Structure 1
C-alpha cells in the first residue's frame, strides 16, 4: 500500500506544480510585460471619439459609483449610452439622478429598452439598440458592466491599444476583492482567480471592459450575432477573427470588484459562467478535462486514504495526508502568485487589494479544496444545462445561435426576484 500511496502522492504533487506553472506564466509572461507596455505607451495621443454602452436591469450595488466614474473620465471626447430595462426599474432613477447632478457636459443619454428580442438575452437586446444610437462621429465602442467602477484613466486605457491596426478587441477582466471575508465571497474570488488566468491565456474577451472600433463592430456581423446570443462577450472573439483581428488582453484593465455574495449564489454563478463557456468557447473541452482530472485525483485520494486506514497502514495514510496538504499548499502558492500580479497591475492606477491577514490566509487555504470540488460539480452541471435564469428572466439554450427568452417581465424593483439577483453577475 505504501508504494501505491507514494506513486499517487508524486502524481498529486506534479499536478499541483503544473497548476502553479500556469499561475507563474500568467504573472511573468502576461501581467508584468503588460504593465511595462502600458507605461511605455500611456502618453500616446490616440483618443478618437468613443461611445460607452451600458445595459441596466436592476440596481447593482455600486451602480452610482459606476455612473459617476464614467462621467469623471480624463478622456477628451466620449458619450455614454445607458439602456435601462424600463422606466419603473430602480436603475432609471439612479441614472437620472447622477446625470442631473454630475453630467454638466451632457455626455449621458438614458434610454428605455424597446421591443426586447425573444431570440437573445435582454443585455444583448440592449446592446443592439444602443449600437443603433451611437454618434455618427464615434470611432470606438466600449462595453462596460454595471459592477465596474472605472478610474479616471479607464477609458484611455481601454481605447489606446486599438492604435495597433492588428488589434480588434481590447479587454480586461475582474478580480473579486470583497470587503467582508464571508465564505461565499471568498469562494467566488478563488474560483474567479483561476478563471482569470485561463481567460487571459486564451485571450477570451470580457465585456465588462471591452473596446472595439466602430467600423469593425459593424462590419464583423457582431451586432447580428448579439441578436441570437445569450451573453454579450461570447461571440466577440469569433466576430473579430472573421476580420483577421486579434484579442488584446491588457492586465491594466483588470477591475477590482468589492461586491459580496452568499455561498448559495456561488454555485449558480459558477454554473452560469461555465455554461457560457460551454456554448461559446472552444476551450471548454479543456475545462472539462481539468474538472475530470480534479475529480479523479480527489476520488482516488479519498479511496486510498480509506483503504490505508481500514488496513491499518498508518505510514501510507500519513503519506497521503501530508501529500494532500502539500498539494493544497502549492495551490495556495498559485493563487498567491496570481493575486500578487493582479495587485501590481491595479497599483499602476493607484488602486490596491486589501492587505491579507493570517486568518484570511488560513481561510483561503481551507476553502481551496472546496473551490475545486465546486468547480467539478458546476462543470458537470454546465454540460447538461439547457435553461438558465438570469436576473429574473429564463432563457432556453437550444444551440450557440438559437436562444429563446421564455417570457419577458419588466424589472420593477430589487425585491421582485431573489435579493442576490443584482450581485455581480
Structure 2
C-alpha cells in the first residue's frame, strides 16, 4: 500500500502543479485588463444585440434595463421570445414599452425547427431579420447583467480585421452559500482558465462580425445543432480568423442553484462539448485519469488509517492537503482579481468569508469528484432536457426536438434560482 500511496501522491501533485502556470497567466491577464481599462475613441460600426428568451430568468428585468442603456452610438436590440404566452413576455413588455430612444424589436419565435434547439431556431430568425447595414452581432443570455460599456468593449477589438469574434465569460457570485451554488462556482472557476487559454467562445457574452453569421454554411449548421457558440467557433477558424477573449466583460451571475439541478445542467454542458468540441477525447482521457486517481485517494485513505498503515496514510493525507492548499490559493488569486475588476465597474463583489473558506475545503474535493463524474456520464447520454424540451441526440448534426411545449414555470424555492 505504501508504494501505491507514494505513486498517488506524485501523480496528483504533478497534475495540480502543471495547472499553476495557466492560472497565473490568467490572473496576470485579469490584472493587465484592469490596468488598461480606458477605451480608445474609435468610430464604432452599427451593431445588433440578439437576446433569445424562454422563461423569465430571475434577473431578466436587470438584463433588459442594462441593454437599453449601453454607451454605444449606433445599436439596436432584437428580442425573440419563445411563445406569446411565455412568462418573459410580460417582463419584456413592462420594461420595453416606454422605451423610445433605442430601436427595439420584439417578436415571438415563428418557426421551431425540429432539427435543432429552440435557441438556434430563435437565432436563425433574428439573423434573417438583420438590417443590411448591420456590421456586428452581439449575443448574450438572459442571466447576463451588462455594464454601460459592455457592447463597446466587445466591439472595439473587432476593428482588427484578423479578429472574427470576441468573447467574455461568466463568473458566479451567488447570494447564498448552498452546496449547489458552491459546486457550480468551483467548477466555473476551474474551467474559465481553459476557456481563456484555448479561446473558447461563450454565447452568453459574445460579439461576431455580421458577415460571418450570414454565411449559409453556418446557418445550415445552426439549423442542425443544439448550441450556437461551438459551431460559430468552427466557422470562424475555417475563415482563418481569431477569437479574442475580452476579460473586461467577465459577467457576474448572482443566481442560486440546487445541487441536483446544477449536475443535470453540467451534464448537458458536457454533452455539448462531446458533440462539438474537437478536444473532447483528450478531455475525457485527462479527466478520467483525474477521477480514477481521486477515487483511489479517497478510498485508500480511510482504509490506511483503519489498518494503521501510518506511512501510507501520511502520503495520502499529504496528497489531499497539497491538492486543497494549492487549489484554494489559486482560487483566492482569481477571485481577488475578479473582485477588483468589479470595483472598477462600480459593481458589488463578495470577498470570501470565513464560513465560505471552510466550505471550500469540503467543496473542492466534492466538486472534483462530481464534475468529473458528470463528464464521464455524458458519454452515454442520448437525450437531454433543456427548459422543459427533450432533445434526442444521434450525432452532432442529428438532433431531434421530440415535442414542443410552451415554457411552464417550476415554482422554485427562491426567486433567485437559475432556470434550467
Fold match by TM threshold 0.5: yes
Residue 314 of structure 1 aligns with which residue? 310
* C-alpha deviation, 1:414, in angstroms: 1.4
2: CA distance, partners of 1:422 / 1:359: 21
Distance change (3 Å), C-alpha of 1:202 and 1:397:
same
- Report if the CA contact (8 A) 2:304-2:312 is conserved: yes
Residue 6 of structure 1 aligns with which residue? 6
Residue 148 of structure 1 aligns with which residue? 144
- Report if the CA contact (8 A) 1:143-1:211 is conserved: yes
2: CA distance, partners of 1:402 / 1:3: 48
- 1:23 equivalent to 2:19? Answer no
Distance change (3 Å), C-alpha of 1:333 and 1:403:
same
2: CA distance, partners of 1:422 / 1:242: 38
Residue 364 of structure 2 aligns with which residue? 368
Residue 32 of structure 1 aligns with which residue? 31
Residue 333 of structure 1 aligns with which residue? 329
Residue 72 of structure 1 aligns with which residue? 69
1: CA distance, partners of 2:59 / 2:27: 29
Structure 2 segments unaligned to the other structure (5+ residues): none
- Report if the CA contact (8 A) 1:54-1:146 is conserved: yes
Residue 117 of structure 1 aligns with which residue? 113
The TM-score, its normalising length taken from structure 2, stands at 0.94
* C-alpha deviation, 1:37, in angstroms: 5.2
- Report if the CA contact (8 A) 1:74-1:153 is conserved: yes
Structure 1 residue ranges, 4+ long, deviating more than 6 angstroms after superposition: 416-422
- Report if the CA contact (8 A) 1:265-1:420 is conserved: no
- Report if the CA contact (8 A) 2:255-2:416 is conserved: no
Once the two structures are superposed, residues 302-322 of structure 1 have per-residue CA deviations (whole angstroms, 9 ceiling, x without a partner) of: 354355335422232133223
Give the secondary structure class of the aligned counterpart of 2:19: helix
The TM-score, its normalising length taken from structure 1, stands at 0.93
Structure 1 segments unaligned to the other structure (5+ residues): none
- 1:62 equivalent to 2:59? Answer yes
- Report if the CA contact (8 A) 2:382-2:392 is conserved: yes
2: CA distance, partners of 1:66 / 1:48: 23
* C-alpha deviation, 1:84, in angstroms: 0.5
Once the two structures are superposed, residues 301-359 of structure 1 have per-residue CA deviations (whole angstroms, 9 ceiling, x without a partner) of: 23543553354222321332233122211111222222223334434423353121111
Residue 402 of structure 2 aligns with which residue? 406
- Report if the CA contact (8 A) 1:20-1:331 is conserved: no
- Report if the CA contact (8 A) 2:63-2:145 is conserved: yes
Distance change (3 Å), C-alpha of 1:302 and 1:74:
closer
- Report if the CA contact (8 A) 1:185-1:263 is conserved: yes
Distance change (3 Å), C-alpha of 1:44 and 1:224:
farther
